[in-house]
Every structure is written in C-alpha cells, then in structure tokens.
Amino acid sequence: MDDSECLAEFRFHKNDVPVLQCVFLEALQLPQSFTCHQGTICDGIEALCITLRRFAYPGRYSDLILPFGRPVSELSMISNLVMETIYQEHNHRLTQWINRLLNAPFLESYACAIASKGSPIT
C-alpha cells in the first residue's frame, strides 16, 4: 500500500506506523501480539491498525480483507479482542468520568441551562 492509499484508508501516513507502534501500544498498554481464542495470532501494530480502520467510516469488515489478507471472521475476532483489551485496561477512566458528570444534580443543572436558552421542552 502506498502512502496516499494509507492516508485515505487509515487517516495517517505510512511512515507514521512506527510512531503509532511506540506511542499507541505503550499508551494504551497493548501487548506486542494478540492471540484469539481459536489460535489466530496477530502482531500488536497490525491489530491496532485493524481496529483503527474498523472505526473509520465506512468500517465494514469486508473492506479490510484486501489490505490485511485475513478473512472476516479473523478480522472481527482481532478487532473485538483489541477493543476488549483497551476497555479492560481503561474502563475506569470512562466510568469515573461519567459518574462525575452524569449525576442527578448535574443533569438537573444541564436541563435548566438548556431550558433557559429557549428549549421547547421544559
């Protein structure tokens, strides 16, 4: 895949892949390789690229067959495993943030602020 294809498909340049490997794998605390339950092994940076491409619009698994050379079932398992790993490592950040911002007093103040701006629903 040349640089323009890489930019169009993944929203980053081909020479940015080593940066992704250093920064994202370390920051997200992802392993160097992933092993799916049925035995498929995938390098960490490939797994990250599969997941990032899956999140890009449109993110159909059938669009990932050609660039990664894997069947839809493997792409799905790898993508899900990466998302599950990220969630297991970092879900506390999401849940703590949501509890601080989405509690009853804050929701009431949000609703009052919206109503004061002329919302048709009180």
DSSP 23-46: HHHHHTT--SEEE-TTS-EEEHHH
> What residue spans define the domains of the chain?
3-90
**pTM exceeds 0.95 for this model:** no
Identify the residue whose tokens are 């892949």. Answer: 17
CB 28 within 8 A of CB 89: yes
Kindly state the average pLDDT of the residues 70-96: 92
Q: Can you tell me the distance from the alpha carbon of 73 to that of 60, in angstroms, rounded to the nearest whole number?
A: 12
For residue 57, what are the contacts with CB-CB under 8 A and spacing of at least 6? none
* Tokens (6 digits) for 27: 């920051």
pLDDT tens profile 21-50: 888 778 888 898 999 999 999 999 899 889
Task: Assign 34 to helix, strand or coil.
Answer: strand
